[in-house]
């Protein structure tokens, strides 16, 4: 029996495919569950019209996606966050925050699920994150995470040539004028 698939059926067919299947499989499984319908001439015409509409929609979305990718490419997204020691954030920057800032920047809604962010950003710095607009169009978003006063991650400075110092002892680490650690603990007793 020849049928047109209305839903994806794993290991059998995808939506829109026309296939010849066993009569019992079609009557007992596909047709009652509305996973497929009989491949009549009217149904085949309807399927062709839907395919043409989908192609036009995909072409229109592709053009819009290319325009949006061009807008995004030239504009970095700057996010400010509170910072602790070693340029680590108090909390993190998530894909939702990036999508909201990007939406505000380009004036179009951006879905957070289109951002390819493996884990939230937890340090100051500049990040390049892929944004999948359509199946064929991917843009790269430059995200700059700054501290509240605009400070950015310290660039790795080349090490200065200084003479190697001997490791510090406990007495050298104490405050000037304070008793060495052994004497301080004895005087407290």
SS3 content of the chain, % helix, strand, coil (to 5): 35, 25, 40
pTM for this predicted structure = 0.58
Closest C-alpha to 144, from 111, 103, 116, 102: 102
Exposure of 96 by Cβ count < 10 A (0-12 exposed, 13-18 middle, 19+ buried)?
middle
Per-residue pLDDT 10s for the chain (189 aa) are 999 999 999 999 998 899 999 999 999 999 999 999 999 999 999 989 988 998 999 888 888 888 888 888 878 999 988 888 887 888 889 999 999 999 998 888 989 999 988 888 988 889 999 999 888 888 899 999 988 876 766 543 333 333 333 334 444 434 444 444 444 444 444
CATH architecture assigned to 2-69: 3-Layer(aba) Sandwich (3.40)
Question: How far apart (Å, rounded) are the C-alpha atoms in residues 98 and 105?
Answer: 10
Tell me, yes or no, if the two domains 2-69 and 70-146 fold the same way.
Answer: no
Distance of alpha carbon 38 from alpha carbon 23, whole angstroms = 11
Structural domain boundaries in the chain: 2-69, 70-146
Characterize the bridge pairing of strands 2-5 and 36-38: antiparallel
CATH number of 70-146: 3.10.430.100
């Amino acid at each position: 029996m020849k049928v047109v698939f209305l839903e994806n059926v794993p290991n059998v067919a995808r939506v829109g495919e026309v296939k010849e299947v066993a009569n019992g499989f079609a009557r007992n499984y596909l047709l009652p569950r509305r996973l497929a319908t009989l491949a009549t001439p009217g149904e085949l015409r309807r399927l062709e019209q839907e395919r043409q509409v989908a192609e036009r929609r995909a072409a229109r979305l592709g053009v819009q996606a290319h325009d949006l990718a061009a807008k995004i490419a030239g504009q970095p997204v700057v996010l400010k966050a509170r910072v602790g020691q070693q340029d680590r954030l108090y909390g993190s920057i998530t894909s939702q925050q990036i999508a909201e800032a990007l939406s505000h920047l380009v004036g179009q809604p951006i879905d957070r699920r289109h951002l390819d962010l493996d884990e939230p950003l937890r340090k100051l710095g500049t990040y390049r994150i892929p944004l999948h607009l359509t199946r064929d169009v991917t843009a790269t978003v430059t995200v700059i995470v700054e501290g509240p006063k605009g400070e950015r991650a310290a660039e790795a400075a080349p090490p200065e040539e200084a003479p190697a110092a001997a490791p510090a002892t406990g007495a050298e680490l104490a405050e000037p004028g304070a008793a060495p650690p052994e004497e301080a603990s004895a005087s407290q007793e």
